Amino acid sequence: MEKRDAIKKLENGEIKMYQLDELFSSSDATDIRREYMEKISKINLENISKYALNMDKASQKNIENPIGTVQIPVGIAGPLKINGKHTEEEFYIPIATSEGALVASINRGCSVITAAGGVNTLIIDDKMTRAPVIRTKSIQESYKIKIWIENNFLKLKEIAETTTKHGKLIKIDPILIAGNYVYPRFNYSTGDSMGMNMVTIATEKVLEFLEEETSGEIISLSGNACVDKKPSNINLIEGRGKSLIADILIPEEIVHSKLKTTAKSIEEVNTIKNLIGSAISGSMGFNAHYANIVAGLFLATGQDIAHVVEGSLGITTAENRNGNLYFSVTLPDLPIATVGGGTSLETATESLKILGCYGSGKVEKLAEIIVGTVLGGELSLMAALSAGHLAKAHKIHGRAN
């Protein structure tokens, strides 16, 4: 079939877009879909048509019905000195964003951190969750299933781990009950993979056994208590993905010379803005803009961008210590990977290689770099706010109307 014939068949409804992959190579199918969209929308998609990705590979596991790609500028911040358990190095950080001033702000934070001797980073927990919902006939039956799960954990662990070489079932906790519905939260370690597919398959296997052995009825493999790609208090408290903390003590002279403010002023703004302001508005993120830095790194390194909503959760603290500034960030919920998913896309692979984080055995290193970068970006913004420089910075970097 010729390309022009395929476009006519799409117009006439004789074939569907996804069927083009059975009739043409992935790159040709991509071109046909794009030309069809150009024709029906009367728009030239010249820029979407330009890409360096291997569309044959991407079509197998990253995208359906592709017509091309979007492009986002990638900037570099750094060097950033990390003092962590998994790495003690200086890094240049690739940030993909269209927000003017963001890379410049992160870059300033990196400069302050490195001048102060580096940011201290720790991974305090590591798990991926899946929480199905089970229906019972009564609260008594719900409670029985809760106890059954607790009493049979080792058996359920054995069953779950038959589905994966890398995943380990750590615990099933908490087991939430709402009347005749039970929501057990399965917690797994997943190695270098983000692991959402891994834990889904493992949990499904466990649920098959549960239905055979109990009176419970599986309503959904996900009951939303996971909680995946949504802001939630349980993830803020219990953690999900990598749970991370970072801190630094910045000498008074560096606060003055590089941040153009004082430790006392940053402490005050942090308390009134990030803590009280967040509390009075019911925000789950007691921070200034974690999502900005997380999104920039996620886009650059091929992470699942929807998990930025989880990465936005966290708490920033700031203390004036005799003129010196103690500053910390806590990110309880950061699902990331260095293998699988979007990390295999060519541009993501290159960004991960800049960080020395591509492939197996590198996810902890990536986690420490991300939390260190978040601290840098958060520190710079809080300093700008305390010094009254925020609007000026956006004007300089082209953000004014």
Give catalytic residues, as residue numbers. Answer: 99, 304, 394
Q: Nearest to residue 299, comparing CAs of 58, 93, 14, 33?
A: 93
Tokens for 65, please give them.
């019905």
Cα within 13 Å of Cα(395), Cβ side: 4
- β-pair partners for 74: 96
Q: Please give the DSSP secondary-structure letter assigned to residue 257.
A: H
- Mention every residue, 6+ apart, whose C-beta is less than 8 A from residue 60: none
Task: Look at phi and psi of residue 67 and say left if phi exceeds 0, alpha if psi is from -120 to 50, else beta.
Answer: alpha
CA distances from 121 to 82, 116, 256, 328 (A): 7, 14, 24, 10
Strands (E), 99-239: 119-130, 133-135, 168-178, 181-189, 217-220
| Single-letter code of the amino acid located at 267 | E
**Residues 6 or more apart whose Cβ sits within 8 Å of residue 288:** 273, 274, 316, 378, 381, 382, 385
Q: What contacts 24+ positions apart, CB below 8 Å, involve 393-397?
A: 393/101, 393/104, 393/105, 394/100, 394/101, 396/101, 397/100, 397/101, 397/104
Burial grade of 345 (CB within 10 A; 0-12, 13-18, 19 or more):
buried
